[in-house]
A = this chain, B = another copy of it.
Amino acid sequence: MSGTTRNATSPIGIFDSGVGGLTVVRAVADALPSERLVYLGDTARVPYGSKSADTVLRYSVLSTRFLLSHDVKMILVACNTASAFAMSELAALLPVPVLGAIEPGARAALAATKTGRIGVLGTLGTVRSAAYPRALARLAAEAGGLPIEITAKACPLLVPLAEEGWLDDPVAEAVARRYLGELHAEAPSLDVLVLGCTHYPLLRQVLTRVAAEIWSHPVTLVDSAGAMAARARLELERLELLHPTATGTLQTFVTDDARIEEIGTRFLGRPLGTVTRVDL
């Protein structure tokens, strides 16, 4: 796609529908402190989670092409909905390794479950795609046919809650109680909950507390961010593309810059620095 040679000093591209993927940036910066990171949040078209597969694919292609124009050596699709709907097309289309959010999240869930009964919280799109149940079934089969039972629950209000910053208050609690209560009715014996959206780790505290109330046994919450970062590290090692020197940086691009300072800082856990707006 680009004539430039990609090598170990090239950046890693990370793409999300909005600012949620900054939770993945945070994990990658921790696991790979020497790497240059280029982040694109498609904030003009956010959210993807309530939109259809072909809209999500179209926007994902535009976004990843933008990252390629920065000569990235690898692309992380932080957005679970984009990973659910567009991974095979992106992997076929892009001339660099592409890692999605679903498989790392599914691996983390399988590592954490004792009973094989797993709940997945996600956007409408991620749940409709059935990408987590498919990935979990495949990984469980590879692990020797571990019996599993997956129950997925779409939680459309968690993204706006996280963006509003109502992370642990009566409203967050009422929302968590409703979604987790409905999930409990279907899956009373699950022991792992996958936070299947980059926004949800911000709500981990209230979700953990409400889950402990609702289920009468311990429930472990897992998310993709740490697992994606670990997987990216392994893959770069294998390809001998780890950056050799300590020059870790972050360049952030967004397609709309309303509220980016405030919300971005909440997701990254530190100030964002310079943010550049681009039209795709």
Residues 41-67 (chain A) with a chain B CB within 8 angstroms: 43-45, 50-52, 55
Bound together, the chains give a CA A259 to CA B55 distance in angstroms of: 13
Verify B156–A51 contact, CB threshold 8 A: no
**Chain A residues within 8 Å of chain B by Cβ, number:** 28
Cβ–Cβ < 8 Å partners of A51 in chain B: 43-44, 256, 258
Q: A52 touching B256 by the CB < 8 A rule?
A: yes
Query: Does residue A163 face the partner (Cβ distance < 8 Å to B)?
Result: yes
A180 → chain B closest CB, angstroms: 13
A125 touches B157 (CB 8 A): no
Q: How far is the CB of A159 from chain B (nearest CB, A)?
A: 8
A residues 139-182 near B (Cβ < 8 Å) are 156-157, 159-161, 163-164, 166, 169-171, 174-175, 178
Q: Does A124 contact B (CB under 8 A)?
A: yes
Besides A50-B258, A156-B160, 19 more A-B contacts (Cβ < 8 Å) are A43-B51, A44-B45, A44-B51, A44-B55, A51-B258, A52-B256, A52-B257, A52-B258, A124-B259, A125-B258, A156-B163, A157-B160, A157-B161, A157-B164, A157-B171, A160-B160, A166-B178, A171-B171, A171-B174
